[in-house]
Amino acid sequence: MNSKKVMEADTDKSRLKLIIILAIPAVIENFFQTALGFVDTFFVSKIDLAAVSAVGVTNAILAIYFALFMAIGVAANVRIANFLGANLPEKARHISQQSILLAILCGLLTGVLTLFFSEPLLKLMGIEENVLEVGSLYFKIVGISSILMSLMFVMSAILRGAGDTRSPMYVSIIINVLHAFLDYVLIFGFLFIPEMGIIGAALSTVFSRFVGSVLLFFYINRSNVLVFRRDYWKPDKVHLKELMTLGTPAAGERLLMRAGQIVYFGFVVALGTNAFAAHQIAGNVEVFSYMIGYGFSTATTILVGQQIGAGNYEEAKNYTKLSTYLAFSSMVVLGVLLFFLGDWAASFFTKEQAVINDIGTALKISGIFQPFLAILLVLTGAFQGANNTKYPMYLTAVGIWAVRTVLVYLLGIRFEWGLAGVWIAIGLDIAFRAIVLMVKFKSGKWVRLGDAPEPEAHCHPQSTKENMSSCANNY
């Protein structure tokens, strides 16, 4: 994508077209990334429900790792977009390589953590003894190699920050087709390859991520804007500090969410193995709805980040509004599908009618809250693109701990509403945060001006769109 096109999108029609051009590859990428978990759950469900619970509990812990990796990716994405918008391509290139170094460091640290503390972490989740052994095996294989997860998150974010949402999409398609094939072969066995069960699921995931990391590295180095420079691999305190300063609140937001998840996952586990399996399966079906919201959120972060870098603050606001309208409309349709087709989707995973009923109920509730989810995802992306990663973190802390976790306990356990109570609590948290972000956005206090780079040619950040046109044309 040419950044000049971003600067010259001066009608709502051209803005909508640009949002869709960026969002569609991100949606497709999210679809195939989601398929990775979906395929795992589908094949593992053919082993038994204990295996489904093992993968679910393990992935809940791995989500904490993801929080760290995604935070680095958010920081890299935003700063690269800012620098390119400000016509500072060398700074964008430098910070992209520094973010890869930071990703390697974090991936190694989480790998060591898994090696020594896999079983204690699983026990902390309240996992049942019959699930602990298989869960520990799966966790060790996938977690020790978490450097691959870290590199994939960050390198995909680097490409998106430069406006390239297609390359991560291509990589996602390739590795998920590979993963589906390997999952079947390694879990159930084929010809001379023995049946490996849950270990096969873990190995197929690791190998797929290795291939993905290699391909993303290739795409970055092939980019005219981001092609690697040897001298930029030396650790740079300024850029590393910049990444950590912007990324720490994003990491805090996700860690607060994951910590809250661990607590309320414990409540769900207390409902029994079948209830947790139903919760996990429903989550893997419902997460397909996220792909639309995350696609528009990705487009919003890129466009807002570039416009903030160029000093076009009203334009950043316009992109945010249009992205929200598109995501809202799309996810209303997805909500209807979840509401009416939830039981049918559940039947692909299990034949136990009680579990199917629980999954169907959870997906009906999820469908009702999809419009709020659209607003939450897009506005979070806008705040991040505007260098404001702290406010979503504070809001997540309140939402997860004061709303979601408390209500999961009250509705799911205390009032004995079971899985329905759990999903109502999740929906109310999503609605609460969406409304608060919307109010904050409308107040105009959503951009952190002090953190935006000064545009090239000494364009003042407070300049109007018309006065900025000469600066935009320099890029």
Residue-wise pLDDT for 11-31, tens only, equals 888 889 999 999 999 888 877
Query: What mean pLDDT, rounded, does the chain reach?
Result: 83
**What three-state secondary structure class fits 349?**
coil
β partners of residue 193: 190
Rounded Cα distance between 392 and 377, Å, is 11
Rounded Cα distance between 201 and 199, Å, is 5
The percent of residues above 70 in pLDDT, for the chain, comes to 89
In 3D, which of 158, 166, 175, 165 has the Cα closest to residue 217? 158
Contacts of 283 (CB under 8 A, 6+ apart): 56
What is the full DSSP assignment across 120-133?
HHHHHTT--HHHHH
- The pLDDT, as a whole number, for residue 25 is 92
Mean pLDDT within 121-126: 74
Alpha-carbon torsion 412, 359, 404, 114, what sign? positive
Q: What is the DSSP letter of 230?
A: G
Contacts of 163 (CB under 8 A, 6+ apart): 1, 2, 3, 6, 22, 81, 84, 302, 306
- The pLDDT, as a whole number, for residue 5 is 39
Residue for token pair 């999210």: 30
Give, in degrees to the nearest 5, the angle at Cα 189 between 186 and 195.
80
Rounded Cα distance between 327 and 375, Å, is 7
- Tell me how crowded residue 462 is: count the other CB atoms within 10 A of its CB: 9
Rounded Cα distance between 414 and 69, Å, is 36
Phi-psi sector, 387: left (phi>0), alpha (psi -120 to 50), beta: left
- The pLDDT, as a whole number, for residue 103 is 93
What is the full DSSP assignment across 96-112?
HHHHHHHHHHHHHHHHH
β partners of residue 190: 193
Tell me the per-residue pLDDT of 147-191, one tens digit each, with 9 for 90 and over. 999 999 999 999 999 889 899 999 988 988 898 888 888 888 877
- The pLDDT, as a whole number, for residue 202 is 86
* pLDDT over 50 at 395, yes or no: yes
Tell me the per-residue pLDDT of 303-330, one tens digit each, with 9 for 90 and over. 999 999 888 889 999 999 999 999 999 9
Residue type present at position 175? I
In 3D, which of 273, 271, 278 has the Cα closest to residue 134? 273
Rounded Cα distance between 426 and 270, Å, is 17
The whole-angstrom distance between residue 468's C-alpha and the CA centroid of its chain comes to 33
> What are the helix (H) ranges across 271-352?
273-310, 313-346
The listed range with the strongest mean pLDDT (61-65, 97-101, 261-265) is 97-101
